Structure 1
Amino acid sequence: MKNTIHVIAHTHWDYEWYFTSNESFIQLCYHVDEVITALEEGILDYYMLDGQTSIVEDYLEANPDKQARFMKLVENGKLKIGPWYTQSDQMIVRGESLVRNLQIGMELGNTFGGTDLLGYIPDAFGQSIDMPKICHQMGIDKAVFWRGLSSDTMKQREFFWESEDGSRVMAYNIKDGYFVGVQLIENDNVHALMEQIKTDTVSSHVALPIGGDQRYVDMNLKDRMHHFNENLEDDELIESHYDKLFEGIMEEKSDLPSVQGELLNAQVSKIHRSIYSTRYDHKYLNDKVERRLIYQVEPLMAIADHIGIPYKQDLLDKVWKLTLRNHAHDSAGGCNSDKTNRSILQRLTEADELSYSLIDYLTRKISESRENIKPNQMTVFNTLPVRKEKRLNLKVSLVNSDFAIYHKGEKIPYQLVNMTECSNDPIRRDVKPASESLYHEMEILVPVTLEPLGYDVLDIVEGEQGEIASPEQNDMIGSEPVSIENDYYKIMCEDGRVDVFDKVTDIWYRDFLFLEDSGDDGDNYDYSPPMHDNVLKLDFSNANAQAEQGKIERSITLSGYFNVPLNLTERVEGQFNSQIPYECTISTRTDDQSINVRLDMENKAFDHRMRLVVNGDVKTDESIADTPFGTISRPVRDPNLENWREKGWKEEPSGIYPMLNFVNVHDSGKSITAFSKGMKEYEIVGSDGKGIALTLFRAVGYLGKPDLIRRPGVASGNQFRYIETPDSQMQQHMTFKWSLVVGRNFNAADAFDHYQHYAVSVPYYQHQSLNAFTNTLKYFVMQPLSETVPDTLSLLDASHSKHIVLSSVKMARDKTGLVVRFFNPADKDVYDSGEMVCRQQIDYWHVINMAENEELSSRYRDPTIQLGGFKPKEIKTVYIRF
């Protein structure tokens, strides 16, 4: 029986890269015209438009006259589109972003004639451990990918790829790349090509993708196939698509093996396992936008909808689309030209402004529509469905600097952080403001317990003595010791060293925090050490130190300069002519088991990498990091590190790995977890006891460079020309924020809960008329709702859920009800995950899939929702109709 070679005509359309999306868009318009003509005239039988609908949306917006013809081809199965909106990175993009990507992509695909339900990922830099269950819940049961699979994991190309919860997809690995079939067009080496694509296959059905990056339509494909078929005896080429390929494989009823885990090895293609620190400014801003959209905007819009402010799904999708266009593998990685990275930064800025403005508008609208508004009241919003004991950081505007704060009739303490005198007089040259126009802008810390998924009110009473927890301030310089402590830790800075005493385990962690600076001879794709490096340990010697001992928050602020080599030449010569100014604040709150750190830095050096080292002295051979919907355990030392060159791998399998928001190391007696806002890369360091190195940033000057120590051979990206990227030298001010938890043991669900507590801020609005600039449009009047809303509200309480993680709260995409998603982050069963209580009257609830189009359980009317058991790493989505 002959092998059936499925010739699959396609293009891989990089949205942007060393070119901008605008530059690529012009070619796209003419390219799709050619695709339509080729399919209508029978020049091609099928064509695949790269599995992403953003380019379809762009094309049809500019070519509306082609929409009917385009849709007819899709409806007839000739033109394959979707399911993605953009071909997303999977390593540093949040799980809910991947879900929105597929939801929006599939809806658009259906609008344009029908979505191809194939998990098609031709070029992403590795495959996430969670992709099988994401695909399964979105109704996708087949996947095709290129990068990341090594033969020590799976030798053959056809297999089942599984998640720990039992979800699986049938996978096909195009290990020779999505461009391998171009050989059919460009040369006559018939048998060599057949041998190449059949290597490691077990099925008689074999894929031959014909396409490439921005490749034109091969109008002579039928002629070339005919030529090949005339010279083949054991194989027959047919025009096809991936659905036909999988049908053929399944008809053979072969017993295919299964694989679990992430696919992040560089045996058959580069994987760029250090791209997670390229363009930190992008990573930081994208992380902030994702966090705001998922944990604040979507829940807040659901709260607003419940009280009469219509839910605007199209408006929300506009912000999501701006964000998702930055998630394509090149865009998310930052491996682009400077002009392209500027476009990415602009889109991120637009998404940041839109999402922030959504919060501003809704918090104000709700606050100014409440039933019983009093002067200076503060409406505070808990956008998570769990009761939270928060230390709110609020900014208030008052005439009187003496004031008291009440919550539910009880006076509560606060700590004054900063106070500035301001005026609301019109500004005039050389005219002092009138005394009656003066007021105070104050930043305060307030401990308060917030009810879940709703809003509450703080009463601010001017002229009354409040319970003020004022800090004491001590200034010290150089080697004098400075210390702060709370219920869990004592933190001391002495002789430039930061030491931490953990009161729970009675252990001193000496030299706990410092920075490491090394040379970087890499490019926008990868870190690579220079031939002659000089790795520096940077502590806080000669720093100016200031300690504040507040009753709510205590902090140490260290400021000074790090002296580092200006460039690689100075690094070799042992010169240190670049001074990098910094300010580092280490803070902790009274009964909080976290150490929060903020580092501000002005980079003035070139071709270097800076990392934060958390020196934990933990006896371990593995790390645990978060993934889109769970955690993953990774070896400290990759087993292929010793002989990767001999095996012919494309790059060194370093211990550098991606994380979304946290990484942990622990042993039988110690546990250290580092949580970050925007830092996406870590490595476990240390010879005996292990610590965590978080990459702060990399400063490099080229898109791609050849012959790197970690990545031999041709340059990544454009192989024929050096493309300078001076913007990627990161000559700018940067802010880094992280939180550390030290203790005896590690629990994955607790880690996610801590991250949300740390990273998700509380939106608020003060009802006052002194300061017209508390948010962007406060200067202008706002019409309250025609009917007043309750003074306080709580929709849903999941405070009694246990061992599972809240993933998102949002309106269903059809706007008929509320969708709440949880997952089990651990690789063991949860037999009882507790309950969730609806605090408003409901019609019914049931469990649905991620695509929100399939009911997975019966409908129930009990307002107390028993969440039940969770398989290892299982995801559950609950739909509630109020």
Structure 2
Amino acid sequence: MSKKIAHCIHHTHWDLIWYFTVQDAAVQFSYNMKEMIRGFKDGKIVNFFMDGQTAPIDEYLYMHPEDELYIEELVRSGKLIIGPFNSQLDCFISSGESVVNNLRLGIKTARKLGTISKIAYLPDSFGHSYDFPKIFNKFGIKDFVITRGVGDSYELGNEFYMESNDGSKLLVCTMLSGYGYGCYAFKEGILFEEEAKDYNKISVKSLIERLLKFSTVQNEFVFPLGFDQNPAILDIPKKIEFYNKKQDDIVFKLTTWEEFCNHVRAEGKNLQTHKSELFSTQYHRVHKSIFSARSDIKGLQDRCERILTYELQPLMSMLDSLGIEYDHGIIDKAWENLVKCQTHSSANLTDETNNYIERETKNVLNLATSAKIYLMKLVSISLEKDNSESYPLVVFNTLPEKRRIIGSFKILTKTPNFKILDENGDNISFTVVKSIKKNCGVLRKDAELIDYSKFYYETDIVFKTCEFNGISYKTFSVIEVDEASFNLFTQYDRFIENNRYKIYQNQDGIVIHDKKLDLKIEKAIYIEESGDEGDSFDYSYPDHDLILHDYMDNSDVDYRISKEISIMKIKGKMLIPSDLSKRKTKICDDEMLYSIQISLKKDSDVIEISGEVDNKSEQHRVRIVFRGTSKNEYSYAGTQYGYIKRKTNPEELKIWREEKWFEEPSPTFPLLNHVSMVNEDYTVSVFTRSSKEYEFIGNNFSDISITLFRSYGALGYPDLNRRPGRPSGLDYMVFSTPECQMKKKNKFELALYFNKKYDANKITNAYVEYACEDSYYQKQDFDKSINPISYFPTNPLSKPLPRSYEFMEVKDLDGSFGTIVKSDLSESYILRLYNNKNHPSSGGELIGYNNGKEAYITDMIDELEIVDVSNKLPEMNGGELRIIKIKK
């Protein structure tokens, strides 16, 4: 019988943060790198694979610039292999732009140091997105190395092809036995002894047998030499020589991932093709309910993504075309800090490290918001003068489609009354929400010393704008008058309503009536509260649960209506157990207060739902549920650049315990942007601007539940109902996390969207518009604290800006807007569009800035000019992610 071949790959898996701090990791990595450099110089290290990341190298070079030239020499020679990622991402709730910028920043560092690894390496991410082939291929990446997410039900070998719905493919190499199963035994010289076991206490021998069983290259397997936070192993060739002499069954040979992937392409047999996500819990834990751990932090990260993607980047691109230079440094800093907070275990850590992630995420939010406000301010102070005595109010549309924006605006004036004129001088109808008299003079304790001439009025209003043509801005004029005509909210005691919906409370709860579909749903929204015996990695139901529901039938309801928007405010409380001991005895000894606001904008098909839940209890889960009326066998959930169809009741639930899976294959799933119930009569979609987890529940899985928050007290419990065996994290340690009990007001922002049929592009476009926040700036000198960056004196541009400007529109697109950015490599703009459907659709027409410009379909790594689309955008293929380069 021929000898087996073990392909040894020297590596480390490097977590930037975990139960240890980022500083712990930085110090350890510094000394590891110094040791590695000595090892290379002394000839004791042949090559080293740096975990597919560049963030640790970036940090090291920031602290040790003296080593940059030698590290560059190692990278250029292929001895030190870095990239293509900046950091190891969360594969399901990182947006498309987060994934793209994670790769872009990693490639930027690798390119600077000499050589870019084209191995997409995610050894510890908890499953993998259906969209990865289409994203990675755009960066010239064809090979993908993973550990988690593969199971027998997929009927795949260790090596297979993964294909997105656009036909993009990756060769996937799976480390089915883990990325360090034999590393310690190898180093200790006991590899072929009985005590050679991995971190799950499984024998190395049986793990090798598992790999050989599923290998597509007969009698060959990967033997990774490295593990979590491990330094380089010195003198690997000598150790390989020792094992090759010690036994005759296996030949060990040192290789690289690039060499192994090429070997599989040449020698692999019967490689299958997988056309879906990778999310199995059979051989490794993927923590299917990790997406609700510290939901507050995940909501912050969601907001950062939305502002950067749909607001700041388009705004910067538009203003760059007017001569205000696109600031790559600010964009890079924001994305770099954000993606490092979105690791595969983001916000499910100790309280100390969670606080760090929250703080860093808030820093990103502040940076993005400050940049956005500064640019809007610069426009407002640089406008061409008009003849009226008015305060310019500049409103921005940052999406490339025609829109009328119904927005909330804060207006500051000297007098209580004012009017708003559009660019044609016509009056704009608006509704006053509230008005407060304030003083911008010097504050004094003695009232007689107050300068009453410094009083002004701060008025919150709502109005609907005239139509915007794509990415553009318009200037409205706020003019003070003695008397003004405006609308006020009026109280009503029956319902809220717009052209599409009527919503009200009856004796059974909340009713949503869709007048267009002639659909009425009773008990349409309710709250579910239940116990949670889990930890920071996973929800787990307790042995003795008490599941409670509140249909809001007894809640206090207040209806307020106006011409532009109608609002239903709901306030209520639930009596719930204070902890698991009380739940076991069915004692409800705590009040959980909640307030929910349902908003209907004029002519909108989106029902906006926001609120907060004041939590004082421990070890429980709170979900808001949207009721359906039909059976759902599948959910349809948005991905980075498309959607995925998932079973609401996986068959594997029946056999996972018997077959000793690592984790229950729960139907709890990540909620990236939207999820839909689809049946013959109607489709209901839920959009999120906060919560990141859903599950279909109820009779026939008719209802969509969204996890608002989980309350738990530890990182890593053993022997959970949904996750048997050792604790996740450290197998011998449980870390207390009292702040994860979420004892505070937990906020959420969601929306409902009804359709007759499931149209993935239509749903995604409605989500994108919902995802955008109002972008406006009023030039005023009353209050510099509304936007703190307004405190800084700023010079207007030397050349005045037009009072309105149209940058770019994509007309008649049957697809979705990704974003638009300024190129890193040229004086061009990069427009990202995508088709959510599985069949071809209209590519639309570029109008505005593109007129007379050259435009090409391109890639993401070198911006090669692949197809000239200067005159017309061709039809988009099913599932296509399209990158368009528009020359400036």
Structure 1 and Structure 2 fold alike (TM over 0.5): yes
Q: Matched residues in 2 for 1:835 and 1:549: separation?
A: 39
Letter in 2 for 1:616: G
271 and 490 in structure 1: CA distance in 2 versus 1, 3 angstrom threshold:
same
Between 755-764 and 619-628, the greater mean CA deviation after superposition: 755-764
Structure 2 counterpart SS, 1:517: strand
Query: Which region of structure 1 is more displaced relative to structure 2, 634-643 or 406-415?
Result: 406-415
Residue of structure 2 in register with 1:69 after alignment: 70
Could you tell me whether the CA contact under 8 Å between 1:585 and 1:598 is conserved in 2?
yes
- For residue 159 of structure 1, what is the aligned residue in structure 2? 160
2:296 to 278, 281, 292: 281
- The corresponding residue for 2:187 is 185
Residue 579 of structure 1, CA deviation: 1.6
Q: What is residue 440 of structure 2 aligned with on the other side?
A: 424
Q: Which amino acid aligns with 1:446?
A: F
CA distance in 2, matches of 1:548, 1:155: 57
Structure 2: distance between partners of 1:606 and 1:815: 54
Task: Work out which of the residue numbers 424, 437, 442 in structure 1 matches 2:454.
Answer: 437
Are 1:351 and 2:352 counterparts? no
Matches within 5 A, 1:748-759: 748-759=760-771
Q: What are the superposed Cα offsets for residues 150-204 of structure 1, whole Å, 9 maximum, x if unpaired? A: 1111331111111111111111100011112313223231766653432311214
**Other-structure match for 2:883:** 877
Task: Structure 2: give runs of 5+ residues left out of the alignment.
Answer: 194-204
Given that 1:482 and 1:556 are in contact with CA atoms closer than 8 Å, whether structure 2 keeps it comes out as: no
1:404 alignment counterpart? 419
Distance in 2 (alpha carbons) for counterparts of 1:767 and 1:375: 9
- TM-score normalised by structure 2 residue count: 0.95
SS of equivalent to 1:139: coil
The alignment partner of 2:651 has SS state of coil
Q: 1:404 to 1:139 in 2, by over 3 A?
A: same
| CA distance 1:854–1:815, change in 2 (3 Å) | closer
From the superposition, tell whether residues 430 and 513 of structure 1 become closer, same or farther in structure 2 (CA, over 3 Å): farther
Contact 1:812 1:852 in 2 (8 A): no
Aligned to 1:584: 596
Alpha-carbon spacing, 1:679–1:176, altered in 2? closer, same or farther (3 Å)? same
| Structure 1 residue 17: Cα displacement | 0.5
Structure 1, 646-655 or 839-848: larger mean CA deviation: 839-848
Q: Output the amino acid matched with 2:187.
A: I
Structure 2 contact 157–272 (Cα < 8 Å) conserved: no
Verify: 1:202 aligned to 2:208, yes or no.
Answer: no
- Superposition pairs for residues 449-598 of structure 1, below 5 Å? 449-463=467-481, 466-474=484-492, 482-495=494-507, 497-598=509-610
Partner of 2:865: 855
1:762-818 deviation digits (Å, cap 9, x = unpaired): 31111222222231122332110111111111111113212x111111111225111
TM-aligned CA distance change 1:637 to 1:781, over 3 Å: same
SS of the aligned residue for 1:109 comes to: helix
Q: Letter of the aligned partner of 2:192 in structure 1?
A: N
Please state how far the C-alpha of 1:525 moved relative to its aligned partner. Answer: 0.3
Tell me the residue number matched to 1:477: none
Select 1:335's aligned residue among 334, 339, 348: 348
Secondary structure of the 1:388 match is: coil
SS of equivalent to 2:621: strand
User: Is the 1:268–1:650 Cα contact (8 Å) retained in structure 2?
Assistant: yes
Q: CA deviation at 1:402?
A: 2.2
Which of 277, 283, 304 matches 2:319? 304
What is the aligned partner in structure 2 of residue 774 from structure 1?
786
Match of 2:407 in 1: 392
Match of 1:821 among 832, 838, 860: 832
Tell me how far 1:254 sits from its aligned partner. 3.9
- Tell me if the contact between 1:701 and 1:728 (Cα under 8 Å) persists in the aligned partners: yes
Comparing 698-707 and 63-72, the one that deviates more: 63-72
Verify: 1:364 aligned to 2:377, yes or no.
Answer: yes
Query: 1:452 is aligned with what amino acid?
Result: G
Report the CA distance shift for 1:328/1:689 in structure 2 as closer, same or farther (over 3 A): closer
| Deviation (angstroms), 1:372 | 1.9
Measure the CA separation in 1 of the matches of 2:579 and 2:421. Answer: 56
**Residue in 1 that maps onto 2:201:** none
Once the two structures are TM-superposed, the CA of residue 129 in structure 1 deviates from its matched residue by: 0.4
- For 1:436, give the aligned amino acid: S
Q: CA deviation at 1:694?
A: 0.4
C-alpha distance in 2 between matches for 1:413 and 1:6:
71
Aligned-pair CA distance for 1:614:
0.3
* CA deviation string 1:338-391 (max 9, x = no partner): 100011011001101111100111000111111125521201111111111110
C-alpha displacement of 1:852: 4.5
Q: CA deviation at 1:466?
A: 4.8
User: For 1:764, which of 776, 791, 806 is the aligned residue?
Assistant: 776
Partner residue of 1:732 out of 732, 737, 744: 744
List aligned pairs for 1:116-135, cutoff 5 A: 116-135=117-136
1:319 paired residue number: 334
Which residue of structure 1 lines up, in the alignment, with residue 715 of structure 2? 703
- Residue 175 of structure 1 corresponds to 176
Name stretches of at least 5 consecutive residues in structure 1 with no aligned partner.
475-480
Using the TM superposition, give the Cα deviation of residue 841 of structure 1 relative to its aligned residue in structure 2, in angstroms: 5.0
Q: CA deviation at 1:541?
A: 4.6
Cα distance in 1 for residues equivalent to 2:245 and 2:211: 18
More displaced stretch, 626-635 vs 232-241: 232-241
Q: Which amino acid aligns with 1:871?
A: N
**Quick one: structure 1 residues 390 and 533, their matched pair in 2 at CA, closer, same or farther if it must change by over 3 Å?**
same
Task: Tell me whether 456-465 or 153-162 shows the greater mean CA deviation.
Answer: 456-465
Partner of residue 730, structure 2: 718
CA distance in 2, matches of 1:756, 1:193: 45
Asked if 2 retains the 8 angstrom alpha-carbon contact of 1:123 and 1:146, the reply is: yes
What does the per-residue CA deviation read over 1:306-333, in whole Å, with 9 as the maximum and x for residues that have no partner?
A: 12221221221111111111111112xx
What's the CA shift for 1:618?
A: 2.5
State the alpha-carbon separation in 2 of the partners of residues 716 and 138 from structure 1. 33
Taking a change above 3 Å as real, the CA distance of residues 463 and 206 of structure 1, as seen in their structure-2 partners, is same
Which range moved further: 688-697 or 635-644?
688-697
What is the aligned-residue identity percentage?
A: 29
**1:536: Cα distance to partner?**
0.4
TM superposition score normalised by structure 1: 0.96
Checking the alignment, whether the CA contact within 8 Å between 2:856 and 2:870 is kept in structure 1 is no
The one-letter amino acid paired with 1:197 is L
Aligned counterpart in structure 2 of residue 833 of structure 1, from 826, 843, 859: 843
CA drift of 1:5 comes to: 2.1
Check conservation: 2:510, 2:553, Cα contact below 8 A.
no
User: Which residue in the other structure is 2:817 paired with?
Assistant: 806
Residue 478 of structure 1 corresponds to: none
Distance 2:221 2:864 in 1: 33
- TM-superposed CA distance for 1:539, in Å, is 3.0
| Aligned partners of 2:48 and 2:232 also within 8 Å | no
Note the alpha carbon deviations across 1:59-82, whole angstroms, 9 max, x for none. 111111221221111111111111
Match of 2:653 in 1: 641
Taking the aligned partners of 2:679 and 2:208, their CA distance within structure 1 comes to 51
8 A Cα contact 1:277 1:681, kept in partner: yes
Q: CA deviation at 1:246?
A: 1.6
For the pair 1:599 / 2:611, whether they are aligned, the reply is yes
Query: Which deviations, in whole Å up to 9, do the C-alpha atoms of 1:393-448 show, x marking residues without a partner?
Result: 11100122222222132222111112111111211114264442222111111111
- The alpha carbon displacement at 1:3 in A equals 4.0
- Partner of 1:317, secondary structure, is helix
1:723 to 1:459, Cα distance in 2 relative to 1, 3 A:
same
Q: Return the offset for 1:601.
A: 2.2
CA contact (8 A) 2:390 2:480 kept: no
Q: Deviations over 1:655-680 (max 9, x none)?
A: 10112111100211021111111211
